[in-house]
Chain A
Amino acid sequence: MARRDEPVILRLYCAAVLAFLSLPIVVAVGVAFGSDKIARFPPAALSLRWFGVALSNPTFVTALGNSVVLATLTTLLTIVIGLPAAMALVRHRLPAQGALETFLLSPLSLPGVLFGVAMLFFLGASGFGLAGWGILAAHVVIAVPYVLRTTLAVYRGLDRGLEETAGVLGASPWQTFWHVTLPLLRPGLVAGGLFAFLTSFDNVPVSIFLTTARTTTLPVTIMSYLVNQDFDPIVGAISAVQVALVLGLLVLLDRIYGIGQITSLGGQ
């Protein structure tokens, strides 16, 4: 087979584009380690004081707490309703299967602002107003396609014979599910669950319409802080922590699932 080396110019081009992709993240994190009152990159002098300032800011701490609770509940709920649906879609012939799947995955594709506004109207019309469950329901809607998609992908790749063998050997459907199917689906559930968590934890366009001062989330709080053009590195400190956590999770995801699988790019 002819060995074709990529031209040097292609490598350079790719390196430049990848640098562009990493740049704002590096900057947002780097700013956190400055000592100035004004966010600057690269920082003139190094300091960790903005981490302390961020941690002692009650607005951000409350918002962080809200975000963690909301994202956790969202993840649990998406798995509880997403997993059974994925099983039904894979193991049974359903009428209009393709259309059904497209519909179930569609919250993924619609602009967040659009759904946020629609949910705002809905909660207004329902008479409940901006109750906490409203934003939870909205987050489950936008997060559930991730669980559905990863679980579907893993389930479709499973050998159906394993479940049938368990049945033949006398396992009840519940035993088969608990001891055979569920452990085999775990990578899909973990990956989908992590994406569901991140979706909820990072969301602004839906949350911004549905939160109140009491239920505000971390990204919405940061957003209004930035809109008011407060440029101190406090947001940098929060960014640094969040980026560290998220990239840590991504590495974890890669270990258990393979990064190529997540993106449907094979060839590990």
Chain B
Amino acid sequence: MPALLLTPLLVFLLAFFVLPFGVMLYESLYLSLVQNPAGSAMTFANYTKAFGDAFYLRVLLQTVALGVAVTALALVLGYPVAYFLARTRSRRRHVLLFLVISPLVVSIVIRSYGWMVLLGRAGTVNTLLQALGLVERPLPLMYNWFGVVVALTHVLLPFMILTLASVIEGIPESLEDTAAVLGAGWWSRFRHVILPLSMEGVGAGVTLVFMLTIGSFVSILLLGGSDTLVLPLLIYQQITLLNNNFAAALGMLLLVLSVVLLYAQARIFRVRGAA
């Protein structure tokens, strides 16, 4: 009986989720017919190309650097909000939660469009800066790393806030009350009570946001420029150039990276569950 109920989903995912990655692995181990019209021998050439070429290595490094930058920003911006959300007794808590969640359900294309209107050469920010006499010429705020980091931080911030808030909510308030009674100010309570106890949440949020950043695509395609090449965009580019086999190898690389991070995240939550 349980097998019967589970079978449709399991078969569906095996056919349309696992098998496609199997095909990708297979494709990554062969050269394209253009490069190698005669032979059909299995090869790691696509992988050695990704790791052996300074250009592709730089793309990998940029991907990781972008992940670190966005994750750090999301943590700094998100932690206080998560704390506030978890602890406030205000009736407006519901509204706050709504404001944090609502960007998640608005299409990323639409949010990127909003940033394009804000950050363009004749956009809202540049117009404002020029009107205030702060800059003479419009600043380059998009089609570069700045635009990418702003847009991605915006996309991923809610994930960080919600992950952190759910952990902070689980820390007994009585601990903070005790610290307060014993004379600890709010900074001291944060530094010595809340922060240490929320480290699992920080770990989970950081892994999640890093993983989502290195897999991001839409915001970077729209707000990035020619120099903001990262792994997902390189894959897309190679597909449009019909270098399918190389794209497949890059895809396997991103897959391995994502699965490792996914595993790390699951471990963090299991540790938390056991504690």
Contact = CB atoms under 8 A, between A and B. Distances in A.
B31 interface: no
A141 to B, nearest CB: 5
Contacts of A21: 99-100, 103, 154, 157-158
A88 B16 contact: no
A28 B80 contact: no
A16 B177 CA distance: 27
A81 B154 contact: no
B235 A113 contact: yes
Nearest to A206: B217
Given A250-B101, A263-B97, A226 B81 contact: no
A167 to B, nearest CB: 14
B16 A31 contact: no
- Give the interface SS of chain B, mostly helix, strand, loop or mixed: helix
A205 B83 CA distance: 32
A226 B113 contact: yes
A229 B193 CA distance: 50
B9 A219 contact: no
Interface stretch (B40-48, B51-59, B132-140, B161-169): B161-169
Nearest to A85: B9
Interface stretch (A48-56, A153-161, A238-246): A238-246
B262 interface: yes
B186 A247 contact: no
Interface in A101-144: 102-104, 106-107, 109-115, 117-122, 124-125, 137-138, 140-141, 144
A35 to B, nearest CB: 15
Contact of B217 (A84, A103, A204, A263): A204
Contacts of B5: 84-85, 87-88
A103 B13 CA distance: 9
Candidate in B4, B113, B116 with the most chain A CB atoms within 10 angstroms: B113
Contact of A125 (B6, B23, B78, B118): B23
22 contacts: A17-B157, A21-B154, A22-B99, A24-B114, A28-B111, A80-B8, A81-B8, A85-B6, A88-B1, A88-B5, A106-B262, A110-B215, A110-B262, A114-B254, A117-B24, A141-B17, A223-B109, A235-B113, A247-B106, A250-B98, A260-B97, A263-B101
Interface of A: 1-2, 4, 6-7, 10-11, 13-14, 17-18, 20-28, 31, 38-42, 80-82, 84-85, 87-89, 91-92, 94, 102-104, 106-107, 109-115, 117-122, 124-125, 137-138, 140-141, 144, 148, 198, 201-202, 204-205, 208-209, 219, 222-223, 226-227, 231, 235-236, 238-239, 242-243, 246-247, 249-250, 254, 259-260, 262-267
In the A-B complex, the 9 residue pairs with the closest CB atoms: A111-B215, A24-B114, A122-B20, A92-B2, A28-B114, A118-B20, A88-B5, A84-B5, A85-B9
